[in-house]
Chains A and B, each alone.
Chain A
Amino acid sequence: MSEINISYNPSFSPFALALSRESRQDVNACFQCRKCAAGCPVAFAMDLTPTQIIHAARLGLEDVVLSSKTIWLCASCQTCTTRCPQDVDIARVMDAARIIAMRRGVKPSVKSVKTFFYTAVKNIKRFGRMYELGLIMGLKLKSGEFTKDMELGMEMFRKGKIKLVPSFKGMRDTRRIYRAVKKEESR
């Protein structure tokens, strides 16, 4: 997994260029061997295999990539990244596709995953450390699935695995860092 710095390359479609800039990965290096698809543990639930996502990106099929289920279902297990014979960090490309989809306001094909990322990242900012009960409640409010995992949640609570009160430690630091990141990214 080597990083590249692409400024302009006529062999890249505009979307491949955008994706390669965000991920620092050369999607054009892919020769479609399908090792990433073969090893992907979540491929059974995806609409396109990781190999097809890379191919679509190379062709500039932005909407195919950004409206796919695949970019949201990727569990970042790093199997594809580890096995790619062309050294493409495919998991990083999936991250980049999600980031571009969110930035461009594309409606996510798997809403629950986007909601999870969004709610969790706000939770970390607010509390400094992950506050699980807050996260679970936040997800329930957004999904409307109030009874999902209720019994399991109660049992974990009884066993002291889910804390009632957040820690608040380091929340000043996370808020400061988030603000600075936002400022840097809007440049």
Chain B
Amino acid sequence: MSYAYYPGCSLHSTAEEYDKSFRKVCSGLGIELDEVRNWICCGSSPAHATSHLLSIALPVHNLSLVEKSGRDEVVVPCAACFSRFKFALYEVERDVELSRKVNEVVGCDFGGKVNVIHPLEILSAKTAIARAKVVRDLSFIKAVCYYGCLLTRPPEVMKFDSCEYPMSMDNVLRSVGVNTLDWSYKTECCGASLALSETGIVVKLVGDILAEAKRAGANAVAVACPLCHANLDTRQAEAEALKGEKFGIPVFYFTELIGLALGYGQKELGLDKHIVSVEPYLNSLHGGV
């Protein structure tokens, strides 16, 4: 099985471990990823907050690159890119005039025949194979799955899982032996890019999310979004100071946990890149991973 792959800016920088671990898991499960050549940024929130046309044009350029390469499916791991790609498809499909304008400014003839999928969708279909390949016992991990905002909302656009209580990440992780817990903050917002402008808001939201994770009895948080990861991981110390409470909860990309279960090493999966260190955690809880 082979897919066009759009990593997006974060997976080449702040979320390199998401890229590394996703590639490892795919190679372990016989899934081939073919990175889109010369892809550009999806525009993310800076584009849709400043120009609606630009916010649709940037994803459409990338989608047209996929279409031109003869593929009809592209896998997009970053929740923000995933959202912008889905919004672009949704809008050009419904608005002929916008579609014409976008094709004109991009200089392409995008036919809309590209399916945008998230790694969780691919891996949800591979749980039986993944389960058979598990070589490491991770049953000591009690994770809460944090889906964040953009993977599932708004449902008419994203058409992915349930927007109030999603389960896809829970099911994938359970299939490789990770315990996942019931909790009510699955789709709360971490404040996203406000981290770089109004940091205090993000620290407060991160504190609320981690406090709830702790109350639920979790010893790990699993995420599928680079911005969720960055905020919960890099702002954890500030959130602890604000709440006057020690969390010490490592934040994993769900692909890192699958990778660990499949037997890959910490470094191969990029686990050394976390700010809340996972090494002592994995060592102390499991007599060494």
Do these two chains really belong together in a complex?
A: yes
What residues of chain A have their CB less than 8 Å away from a CB belonging to chain B? 1, 3, 22, 41-42, 44-45, 73, 75-79, 81-82, 89, 95-96, 98-99, 102, 110, 112-113, 115-118, 120-121, 124, 128-130, 132, 135-136, 139, 148-149, 152, 155-156, 159-163, 167, 169-170, 173-174, 176-178, 180-181, 183-185
Q: How far is the CA of A170 from the CA of B61 in the complex (A)?
A: 11
Closest 7 CB pairs of A and B: A120-B46, A170-B40, A180-B105, A78-B153, A130-B9, A77-B189, A77-B149
Known: A95-B52, A113-B198, A177-B54. A121 touches B40 (CB 8 A): no
Q: Could you give, for residues 187-199 of chain B, a 1 whenever the CB lies within 8 Å of some chain A CB and a 0 otherwise? A: 0110111101111
Given A128-B40, A130-B9, A169-B38, are A176 and B57 also a contact pair (CB < 8 Å)? no
Tell me whether A42 and B201 are in contact (CB under 8 A). Answer: yes
Contact B198 A76, beta carbon cutoff 8 Å: no
* Residues of chain B contacted by A96 (CB below 8 angstroms): 52
For residue B43, which residues in chain A have a CB less than 8 angstroms away from its CB? 121, 124
Complex Cα–Cα for A118 and B47 (A): 9
With A42-B189, A76-B192, A156-B234 known as contacts, the answer to whether A170 contacts B38 (CB < 8 A) is: yes
Query: Which B residue sits closest to A167, measured CB to CB?
Result: B12
Given A129-B41, A160-B273, A181-B105, CB of A99 within 8 Å of CB of B194: no
30 A/B residue pairs, CB under 8 Å, sorted by A: A1-B157, A22-B52, A73-B198, A75-B149, A75-B192, A75-B193, A75-B194, A76-B45, A78-B149, A78-B153, A78-B154, A81-B154, A82-B153, A82-B163, A96-B52, A99-B51, A113-B198, A118-B50, A121-B51, A124-B40, A132-B9, A156-B14, A160-B273, A161-B14, A161-B16, A163-B12, A173-B40, A177-B61, A180-B105, A181-B53
Contact status A75-B14, CB under 8 Å = no
